[in-house]
Each structure stands twice: as C-alpha cells, then as structure tokens.
C-alpha cells in the first residue's frame, strides 16, 4: 500500500512538472534570428562556450517554427496522461525519451549547474521507475516465442 502511494506521488510530481514545462513553452514568443545573433555575440568567448551552446540550441529549436511547440504539446499531453490513473503507463512510456533528452541536455550543456543536473537526474529516474513498475505488462513485447 505504501509503495502504491509512493508511485502515485512520483507520478504526480513528474506529470505536474511536465505539464508546467509544456505550458511554459508557449509563454514566450520566439526570438528573431537577429536577436539570437546579438545575444550569442555576448557569449562568443572560450570561457562562456557552454552558455553559447545552450543559447544556440534552445534558440534553434524555437526558430524551427514547430519543434519547440511540438515539444510543449507533448510535455503537456504526456504529463496529463501520466497524472490520470488509467493512462499513467502510456504517459510514462511516451515521456521517457523526453526526460532522457532533458537529462542529456543538462548533462552535456549544463554540467556545471549541479542543482539542475540533480533535478533532471531525479526526473529521469522517476520516469524509469514508473516504466519498470509495469514490467509485467510490457515484458511479453520484448520476446515472442517463435515456436508457439
């Protein structure tokens, strides 16, 4: 019983943060290419290279005109799926590549910010735990006996 409550809390935490992140992606308009260039020029020094990489990566995602918005919709939708009991497993499965991507972004581009790295590691581990909790449901998909 206590384990089920723990997983409910973990689902709500991860789902809530994904919904928040998804909504947040629509709050700020995409910067113009000139504004991105001007901002990037300020960080075009070897000691600020990681900041420059973050700016260019996120700005590039926004400049596509679709990727940042699709990511926001996916975070919002999959976070909601995770929050609701009946759809939580499919939400956890769909969120796994997104939480992995968020973790890798922070690991490679913000490894000096230990707080963010710990937070994103925690989110990825929660997501993995939620998927592994349902191992018996998806185990048959991994191996089909060809002799049956």
pLDDT tens digits along 38-93? 877 777 777 777 788 888 888 888 888 899 999 999 999 999 999 999 999 999 99
pLDDT at 1: 76
pLDDT at 148: 66
Work out the number of other CB atoms within 10 angstroms of the CB of residue 47. Answer: 7
Query: What confidence category does residue 7 fall into, taking pLDDT thresholds of 50, 70 and 90?
Result: very high
* Mean of pLDDT over the chain: 89
pLDDT at 120: 96
Q: Which of 26-40, 53-67, 99-113 is least confident?
A: 26-40
Percent of the chain scoring above 70 in pLDDT: 99
Work out the number of other CB atoms within 10 angstroms of the CB of residue 122. Answer: 16
Report how far residue 56's alpha carbon sits from residue 42's, in angstroms, rounded to the nearest whole number.
12
| Mean pLDDT computed over 96-104 | 97
Output the pTM of the full model: 0.85
Residue 35: partners with Cβ closer than 8 Å, 6 or more residues away:
none
Q: Contact 36/61 with Cβ under 8 angstroms?
A: no
Report how far residue 127's alpha carbon sits from residue 112's, in angstroms, rounded to the nearest whole number.
23
10-44 per-residue burial string, b: 16 or more CB within 10 A, e: under 16: bbeebbebbbebbeebeeeeebeeeebeeeeeebe
| CA-derived radius of gyration, the chain | 18
Closest listed residue to residue 77, CA positions, set 126, 24, 23, 26: 23
Residue 17 above 80 pLDDT? yes
């Amino acid at each position: 019983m206590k384990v089920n409550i723990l997983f409910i809390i973990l689902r709500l935490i991860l789902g809530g943060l994904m919904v928040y992140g998804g909504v947040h992606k629509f709050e700020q308009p995409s910067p113009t290419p000139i504004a991105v260039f001007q901002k990037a020029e300020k960080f075009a020094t070897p000691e600020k290279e990681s900041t420059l990489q973050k700016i260019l990566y996120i700005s590039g995602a926004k400049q596509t005109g679709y990727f940042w918005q699709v990511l926001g919709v996916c975070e919002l939708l999959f976070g909601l799926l995770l929050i609701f009991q009946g759809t939580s497993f499919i939400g956890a499965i769909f969120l796994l590549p997104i939480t992995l991507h968020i973790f890798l972004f922070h690991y490679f581009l913000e490894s000096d910010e230990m707080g963010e790295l710990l937070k994103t590691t925690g989110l990825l581990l929660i997501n993995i735990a939620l998927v592994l909790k349902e191992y018996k449901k998806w185990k048959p998909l991994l191996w089909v006996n060809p002799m049956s």
